[in-house]
Amino acid sequence: MVDDTDPKGTKQKASRRDFLKAGLLSGAAVAASAGAARAAGEPLITEIQDWNRYLGDGVDVAPYGTPSEFEAHVVRRDVPWLTADPVSSINFTPLHELDGIITPNGLCFERHHGGTAVINPADHRLMIHGLVDTPLVFTMEDLKRFPRENRVYFLECAANGGMEWRGSQLNGCQFTHGMIHCVVYTGVPLRYLLEEAGVKTTGKWLLAEGADSAAMTRSIPMEKALDDCLVAFKMNGEALRPEQGYPLRLCVPGWEGNMWVKWLRRLEVGDEPWAQREETSKYTDLLANGKARRHTFMMEVKSVITSPSPQVPVTHGKGPLVISGLAWSGGGTISRVDVTIDGGRTWQPARIDGPSLPKALHRFYLDINWDGSEMLLQSRAMDDQGLVQPTKNELRAARGENSIYHNNGIQTWHVNNDGVVENVEVS
């Protein structure tokens, strides 16, 4: 742990530069070996390699498997200056290294307000009370006897991109867009639990509370609670990770990640919202005129190109290039993603590949033949509600620069002749 913290920054700097250098070198190596191949062939092929000769590990070496040692750089990372203390902080999903739409459990970004609670599932209880016919307590065993569902949803922190309101600041989509993940949840529809307790007709709001040391709370409209919320205990088929709320979390599809209360222990039914800290002093959007929007629950239509991006430059030179990215909307499915390579003068539709599920990440590609000239890459998503992802300047014109939350503006990456990528803004 201690080792992790200290040289993190410096290691990273070395790794990114090494990566660039390595890219250039391997390009040169390929060229050289191509030349040599005419004479003797590529040694990786003509010579017997160690892994081709000697035995590898047996089946029990890693009872719970981990990624290849060559993928050790693919990790969540934080931005130390953002918060006062890592116990109440956030880290970021390495979107630039991932593909498809599912985030591996160990790479899902973390946001805690009082650290990760450690709870034995046998000691966990979920209480429903307030404006109900019968206040109830459930054990984990009880919950697993209700009919359950599997749903793929993205979870995005409302502050994703919050550092970019005043201009380009962080060089990497991990940092500009990495407060998001998307997994398949297994859980019980919240409405089954509420029906079991019997919500009174005056019950219009629900307060969800976590069992962690922050006892995190959010008010949720009853209409949403009865619509598509889940009380989940599995992610990607296995138990929730501790940092994602083990043993139980709330899923509030398409809405602010902060509402997806982890370590869920209490649901109170009431007739009004509770105005908790996380829905008044935080997660309210200050506008230029000094007014602040509250209850801005839905995450808006958004997209980002994940590769190339500052952490994954183009190292192969001109020719075929896969431009890859993610799009999502809290309003439903993504109906179209357009990509521009000239900073927004000309757009072409990208290809969405893989499942297109409501309130889930969508993967898009644009396969181009790069001529090696400079590019200004952008993506623009549209959802099935007809909403189009705005530019950052459109957002600023409407809201000012102090909103922190809900920055879904179009991201621009500048790719120079060498393939190096930078986070920029354009006219």
Q: Does residue number 137 form part of the binding site for other proteins (CB under 8 A)? A: yes
Structure tokens at 113: 């307000």
Q: Does residue number 300 form part of the binding site for other proteins (CB under 8 A)? A: yes
Structure tokens at 277: 């800290």
Q: Tell me if residue 60 falls in helix, strand or coil.
A: coil
Give the position of tokens 């109440």. Answer: 88
Helix (H) or strand (E) holding 230: strand 230-235
Cβ proximity to other proteins, 53 vs 345, nearer residue:
345
User: Which range, of 27-35, 127-135, 225-233, 353-361, touches other proteins by CB under 8 A?
Assistant: 127-135
**Amino acid symbol at 38:** R
Structure tokens at 371: 């001529």
Smallest separation, CB 262 to other proteins (Å):
14
Smallest separation, CB 391 to other proteins (Å):
8
- Give the one residue of 26, 43, 145, 200 binding other proteins; rule: CB under 8 A: 145
Report d(CA 112, CA 135) in Å as an integer.
Answer: 29
Report d(CA 104, CA 87) in Å as an integer.
Answer: 23
Is 391 within 8 Å of 380 (Cβ atoms)? no
Q: Does residue number 57 form part of the binding site for other proteins (CB under 8 A)? A: no
- Give the one residue of 37, 74, 286, 368 binding other proteins; rule: CB under 8 A: 286
- Give the one residue of 35, 56, 65, 290 binding other proteins; rule: CB under 8 A: 290
Q: Does residue number 284 form part of the binding site for other proteins (CB under 8 A)? A: yes
Smallest separation, CB 40 to other proteins (Å):
41
Burial of 15 (0-12, 13-18, 19+ CB in 10 A): middle
- Point out which residues pair with 353 in neighbouring strands: 363
- Give the one residue of 99, 292, 353, 355 binding other proteins; rule: CB under 8 A: 292
φ and ψ of 169, to 5 deg:
-130, -45
Smallest separation, CB 70 to other proteins (Å):
22
Q: Does residue number 120 form part of the binding site for other proteins (CB under 8 A)? A: no
Give the closest residue to 253 by CA, choosing from 361, 376, 114.
361
Q: Does residue number 164 form part of the binding site for other proteins (CB under 8 A)? A: yes
Long-range CB pairs of 137-142 (<8 Å, 24+ gap) are 138/193, 140/233, 140/247, 140/248
Q: Does residue number 406 form part of the binding site for other proteins (CB under 8 A)? A: yes
Q: Does residue number 332 form part of the binding site for other proteins (CB under 8 A)? A: no
Q: Does residue number 22 form part of the binding site for other proteins (CB under 8 A)? A: no
Q: Does residue number 149 form part of the binding site for other proteins (CB under 8 A)? A: no
The size of the interface with other proteins (CB under 8 A), counted in residues, is 122
Structure tokens at 284: 């309210």
Smallest separation, CB 305 to other proteins (Å):
15
Give the position of tokens 């200050």. Answer: 286
The DSSP output letter for 388 is B
Q: Does residue number 200 form part of the binding site for other proteins (CB under 8 A)? A: no
Contact set for other proteins, span 78-107 (CB under 8 A): 78-88, 90
The DSSP output letter for 320 is E
- Point out which residues pair with 41 in neighbouring strands: none
Cβ proximity to other proteins, 184 vs 424, nearer residue:
424
Cβ proximity to other proteins, 101 vs 327, nearer residue:
327
Cβ proximity to other proteins, 101 vs 243, nearer residue:
243
- Give the one residue of 109, 165, 233, 246 binding other proteins; rule: CB under 8 A: 165
